[in-house]
């Protein structure tokens, strides 16, 4: 396949001190360590491993789950489908996923919810995704859920479904189009997540 670069869509938020983070999480700080007058420019970055566009590794909620550096590269390159569920209620959303069950099987799902903090993925949706062997869930919100007990996180990550949160530009995607989803996390040893550069290629 010859790559058409116009088919690339970046889904990654910029990292800056103005980046909004999940309520209660550490803010992003960037300070300058050296200037051009020092012969080189260098910055120091301080941020949460779950800020901005990031991946949740199983260890995030599963005690003996894989750390982010243990995720196989082959699990970060996935065929994907896009769903726009903005304005749909829980039943309508679940029906939309059920109608596409045959196409969903074995793919990543990129879900535009229009929500800022929580994508409000339900336990019923999570159970459906598990039954369909979904490989990853990507959402525009900062988290797939807001529940303190994190049942959706636990269900997905304990069943091998990776979670990518904080995606942007999902408004540029189209339903019923086949995409290839690429997620490139920082290889942070022993960590529960990492910032990622995420993008799709239109197939």
Alpha-carbon distance 15 to 186, whole Å? 14
CB atoms within 10 A of CB 128: 16
Please state the pTM of the whole predicted model. Answer: 0.95
Alpha-carbon distance 126 to 139, whole Å? 13
∠ CA 74-14-30, nearest 5°, is 110
Give CA 123 to chain center in angstroms.
18
Residue 83 in tokens = 């769903």
Contact 158, 177 (CB under 8 A): no
Quick one: pLDDT at residue 188?
98
Domain boundaries, the chain: 5-13+49-202
Domain 5-13+49-202 has CATH 3.50.30.50: yes
Alpha-carbon distance 63 to 48, whole Å? 19
CB under 8 Å to 140, separation ≥6 — which residues?
A: 111, 112, 113, 114, 115, 119, 166, 167, 168, 170
Residue 167 in tokens = 């995606």
Reading the chain (203 residues) residue by residue, the pLDDT tens digits are: 555 666 899 999 999 999 999 999 999 999 999 999 999 999 999 999 999 999 999 999 999 999 999 999 999 999 999 999 999 999 999 999 999 999 999 999 999 999 999 999 999 999 999 999 999 999 999 999 998 899 999 999 999 999 999 999 999 999 989 999 999 999 999 999 999 999 999 97
Quick one: pLDDT at residue 5?
65
Q: How many residues does the chain have?
A: 203
């Amino acid at each position: 396949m010859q790559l058409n670069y116009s088919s690339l869509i970046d889904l990654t938020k910029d990292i800056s001190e103005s980046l909004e983070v999940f309520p209660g999480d550490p803010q992003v700080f960037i300070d300058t360590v050296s200037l051009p007058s020092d012969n080189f420019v260098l910055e120091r970055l301080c941020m949460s491993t779950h800020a901005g566009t990031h991946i949740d590794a199983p260890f995030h909620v599963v005690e003996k789950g894989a750390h982010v550096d243990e995720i196989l590269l082959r699990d970060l390159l996935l065929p994907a489908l896009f769903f726009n569920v903005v304005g749909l209620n829980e039943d309508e959303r679940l029906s939309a996923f059920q109608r596409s069950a045959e196409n969903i099987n074995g793919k990543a799902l990129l879900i535009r919810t229009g929500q800022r903090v929580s994508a409000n993925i339900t336990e019923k949706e999570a159970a459906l995704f598990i039954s369909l062997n979904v490989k990853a869930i990507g959402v525009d919100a900062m988290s797939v859920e807001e529940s303190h007990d994190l049942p959706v996180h636990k269900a997905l990550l304990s069943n091998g479904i990776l979670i990518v949160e904080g995606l942007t530009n999902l408004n540029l995607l189209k339903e019923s189009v086949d995409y290839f989803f690429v997620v490139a996390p920082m290889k942070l040893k022993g960590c529960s997540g990492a910032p990622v550069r995420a993008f799709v290629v239109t197939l």
